[in-house]
Each structure stands twice: as C-alpha cells, then as structure tokens.
Amino acid sequence: MRKASFTNNEAGNFVRELNRRVNEYFLKNGISKHANTWMVFKIIICFSLYISLYAVIMLDIIPPVYLVLIIFLFGLSCALLGFNVAHDASHGALFSSRSLNLIFSYSFELIGISSYAWHLKHNVVHHNNPNLQYGDFDIEGGPILRFSPADKKQPYHRYQHIYAPFVYLLLSLAMLFFLDFKVVFGTKREEIDGKKHPLKQKIIFIVAKILYLFLMLGLPIILLHYPWWQILLGFFLMHFTLSILLSIILLPAHVFELTEYPVREADGRIRGGWSLYQMRTTMDYSRKSKLCNFLFGGLNINVVHHLFPKICHVHLIPVSDILRTTADEHGITYHTKSIWAAMKSHFAELRKLGRQQ
C-alpha cells in the first residue's frame, strides 16, 4: 500500500510542458493556487447552510412533512461541506497556511468522517495508487461489490450494476461505523507510509465520533418531541443523501469504461510514468461546468486534481483547459465525458466487472 514507484518516466516532455504552462498561468494572472475571494465566500456558504439547517431541526418548530425536506437538505449541506471545504483542506490546497488547512480539514468530523482516516485512505493511499490492484483502498468493494479484477468474483456480482445504488446509500454510514475504524485500528500505518498511528490521533478519532453521534442522535433524542425511532430514521435519511452523493460523485472518476487497473511488476514497481498512470486511471466529467465545480468541489475534474492536488478546486476549470491542449499536442488520451455519460460508463463498467473472470 505504500507509494507506488515506476519503471520509467515516459512522456517526460508532456509532464514538463504541462507543469510549465500551469505555473505560467498562475504567474501571468497574478493569482494564488489557493483559495480566492470566491472560495472564501463558498466556505461561508457551506458552514452557514450546515449550521442553520441543524439549528432549524433542533428548534423543533418545523411540521413533520417539511422536516423531511430539511433533513434531506442537511444531508446535502454535509456533502457540500465535505466536497468543497474538508477535501481541499486535507490536501493543503485551501490555504497557504498549514495550520489553517489542518483546522478546516476537521470539517470532515462534522459529517461523521474521520479527517485522519480520510488523509491516510484518500490522500496517501488512493492518490499515490489509483486503481492499483491490491493497493487502492477506494476500489476495494468488499464482498458486495466488485470494483477491480483483483476482487474475487461472486455469482451475485452479475447483478451489481442493478443493486449498486442501494449499496451506495450506505457509504457514509459504513465510514462512520466501520471503514474509518478499519483504517485507524485495523490497519498498521507502517504498511501505508512507514509510520505509526499517533496516540493523539486515536484519541481525537474516538472523541470526534462520540461527539458526532451525540450531536446527531443523542441531543435530538433528548430535546426533540419525536420518538427515538423517528429520529433514527431522520439520521438514516440524512446519511442516505450524503452517501449517494459521495458515491455518484467519486466513483465514476475511476471506475469507468476504458480505465486501467495496474499491477505491480515483480520488482514491486509499476510500468510507466506517474503522470500517465494518473491519466490512464482517472476521468473528468462536465469539466467546464461551473455548477458542477461549485457543487462537487472540483471532484468532477479529478484528472487535474490528481495531477495537481494542492491547487484549490476553484482554479481547476482553466487548468483542465491547459491539460486538454497539452495532452492533445502530445497525443495522450485525456478521459473526459459529460456527467450523464460518466454515470452511464460507471454502471457499464460495473456490469462488465460483474461478468468477467
């Protein structure tokens, strides 16, 4: 699971030219690669939505028929906070200050996800090893889903493209109660980056999980007039909303038709160069859509994000234009589709993986 190493740096001219043009874009326009005024406004929007919707629920003044809508919107606000703020901060892309990025990365805790587990699973493992068989946590579908040829094929996988959306509804709940614990307490960090899990991080992890469950379940059960089982249903509805958004935004970027699932050579390395490896295993969708960029925090422009993870997502659309031009000039495939074509391609790939050995 450690950082992948490569047999050579193929397409070195492409990489040098791409980096030169991207750096020139920021220098020429006199802008920072981090948050701009618009991004600061987005941060305020995300936190305001989250806090105000939670407050409306806790005030207990909304009729039940409208409360369902408020809970759904609260789940949406959780997704917006995770996509737009926590994700960029965890990559060090939000601010030039490391301390500020760390503080804002804790936004993950507000939606039930451990920022520490996310950093290890997403930043360290996934970004260095996207789609790597036996190496990328994000394509380990477990026994229920088959995201990679490395996963053992089960008879029911034949229908996974049909039942996958129902499984996707559980993603954030799985992270809250199981997957985060597996990373922090079930996986030796030495296997990831040669370090050990700090005791401080383990304490923060446990305390944050307890506080989150108290705020989302304990306090509502104490203060609201609804029976506990209705509050639990509301909790599930909120997480179903967050989960389906996490799944349909993140998964098509890597599990799609024409993607590759690299394997390590006998010497432990991967054949080819790092930049092309990212482009072979990743796809952008609706990359020029300002609406998708706003809602998804640039996660729809995942190729660019993988190549330049420390650039704030508000800058990714123009950088994707630079990548498009440079890739065309060097004859390199840049996977990009519309959002609907990307979703269709994702489920087509699930269907294929469910049938092939």
Tokens of residue 89, six digits: 């901060």
Q: Between 267 and 195, name the one with better pLDDT.
A: 195
pLDDT at residue 7 tops 70: no
What pLDDT does residue 84 have?
Answer: 96
Condensed to tens digits (0 to 9), the pLDDT of residues 106-140 reads: 999 999 999 999 999 999 999 988 898 888 888 88
Tokens of residue 200, six digits: 């401080």
Dihedral sign for Cα 250, 256, 259, 260, please: positive
pLDDT at residue 141 tops 80: no
Find out whether 245 and 79 touch, Cβ atoms under 8 Å.
yes
Tokens of residue 291, six digits: 């609406």
C-alpha distances (whole Å) from 211 to each of 49, 109, 173 are: 20, 9, 16
What pLDDT does residue 137 have?
Answer: 84
Find out whether 279 and 332 touch, Cβ atoms under 8 Å.
yes
CA count, 13 A, side-chain hemisphere, 185: 10
What pLDDT does residue 189 have?
Answer: 87
Under DSSP, the state recorded for 20 is: H
d(CA 222, CA 298): 38
Model confidence pTM above 0.85: yes
∠ CA 183-186-189, nearest 5°, is: 60
| Alpha helices for 30-97 (secondary structure H) | 37-59, 64-81, 87-90
d(CA 80, CA 291): 12
d(CA 215, CA 348): 40
Contacts of 209 (CB under 8 A, 6+ apart): 112, 114, 176, 180
Contacts of 111 (CB under 8 A, 6+ apart): 78, 79, 81, 82, 86, 172, 242
**pLDDT (mean) for 221-244:** 96
d(CA 187, CA 293): 34
Find out whether 125 and 136 touch, Cβ atoms under 8 Å.
yes
Domain boundaries, the chain: 12-355
